Amino acid sequence: MPNRRLALAMTLACLLALAPPCVFAQAPPSDAPVPAGASIDARIRQQMAQGGIVGMAAAIIVDGRVAWRAGYGHANREAGTPFTPETVMNIASISKTITGAAMMRAVEQGQLSLDADIQRAVPFPVRNPHRPGPPITLRHLATHTSGITDRWAVYSRGYHFGRDAPQPLGGFLAGYFTPGGGDYADANFLEVAPGTHREYSNIGAALAGHAVERATGQSLDAYTREHFFVPLGMARTRWFMADAPMDDHATLYVSQDGMQLPIQPYGLVTWPDGGLRTSVDDLSKFFIALLQGGEYEGTRVLSRESVLEMTRLQFTANRKPDNVDVAEKNSGLFWQTKFNTRFVGHGGGDPGLRTEMLASPALDTGVIVFTNTSGEDSVEAYVAIFEALWAHAQSLRPGTP
């Protein structure tokens, strides 16, 4: 995730959102080495202990089916609730793939165009005051080349601990993009023309979600529920805290100096960029649909052509933003490479959580990981867990000794 969002994870979680009563949970000792050839369970548990990760779940997808799934640790350590593949938690920026799929479906239906001026899709102006000539398009938003930037003084106010965001998405965006609006400033945009420079923009992703709403006449919440969550059987998936009891929801923790600090749940005003709440089991169904060209167990939610365009890497050596090396980074439409193009998909990071939904470039193998713990203490362990899961995924492929 971008540095600003990681900074928010530490600053807001540690200073603003400690859940009452504040419980300091100490990570257990974990110095004993795991022997060579140890099981995936042993490797994950050791890394969780080393990194102070309270709970996690994961799934491995091979050739369009879930080949392995498991949960470890606690969804709520104080209550002793286990973390399972059915545990719900917010997944941060993986949410953008849902928004991207909704965008592609609206394009499929002729309601939106990837390359039209975004001002045609929303009821307020969206123009870079530094470069007012070239239009900003959905393709720019989806590849983070729009020139829109997440101005920290505004973006950090969009997190609301203990509740969903009270401000409507459209109202926030109108105030951010309309000259004279409450949050408008020239600094909301970079001094670059659209398409020429890549900077990750959460607010840009939220704008794409709102364009879907305006084009379809439905809230993005209702639209994604009708066209993705219900058809795919994603019964535990929702955007807002108010939509379901929170008793299936993981408690989130920030790990620091060997302690895990529980924090309150929170909502986002820019919720299409990172506000989805789901489980590993539910998200696996959506991920399989993307990996299988838009279809899951006979249910088609996107055309194959839409999925191909969404997952197609958009940058080439001769056509790319000025700050991108395609050997190290590339982007689909709310879909991107990670670990120097070893994987494609999306990850997420927010106060109290880290998530991944990544596949091989061939889209034949995928791994989903949810953890309800964030912080510098956990980063190395989190990467080691993902690598262990990926190695396990290769062992599950047909024909592997």
Residues of the chain with pLDDT under 70: 1-37, 400-401
pTM of the model as a whole: 0.92
- Token pair 């938690």 is at which residue? 89
**Dihedral sign computed on CA atoms, order 215, 271, 173, 140:** negative
* Distance, CA of 265 to CA of 351 (rounded, Å): 9
Distances (CA, A) of 223 to 130, 218, 288: 35, 6, 20
Residue among 326, 260, 344 nearest 52 (CA) = 260
**What's the number of CA atoms in the CB half-sphere (13 Å) around residue 143?**
28
Determine the pLDDT at residue 246: 86
Q: How is residue 337 written in tokens?
A: 């490479």
Q: How is residue 277 written in tokens?
A: 């709440």
Yes or no: say if 137 and 194 are a contact pair by the CB < 8 Å rule.
Answer: yes
Determine the pLDDT at residue 257: 87
In a domain, 302, yes or no: yes
Residue among 346, 359, 344 nearest 313 (CA) = 344
Q: What is the pLDDT of residues 29-85, one digit of tens each?
A: 444 455 555 799 999 999 999 999 999 999 999 999 999 999 999 999 999 999 999
Q: Please report the DSSP string for 302-339 in residue order.
A: S-HHHHHHHHS---BTTBS-TT--TTT--B-SS-EEET
As for how many domains the chain has, the answer is 1
- What are the phi and psi torsion angles at 192 (to 5°)? -140, 155
Question: What CATH number should be reported for the domain holding residue 51?
Answer: 3.40.710.10
In a domain, 400, yes or no: no
State the CB neighbour count (10 A cutoff) for residue 82: 13
* Distance, CA of 193 to CA of 171 (rounded, Å): 26
In a domain, 401, yes or no: no
In a domain, 141, yes or no: yes
In a domain, 224, yes or no: yes
Determine the pLDDT at residue 252: 98
Residues in the chain: 401
Domain span holding position 257: 3-395
**What's the number of CA atoms in the CB half-sphere (13 Å) around residue 227?**
24
Determine the pLDDT at residue 173: 98
Distances (CA, A) of 178 to 123, 148, 183, 206, 220: 10, 13, 9, 15, 22
Determine the pLDDT at residue 322: 97
Residue among 21, 43, 208 nearest 116 (CA) = 208
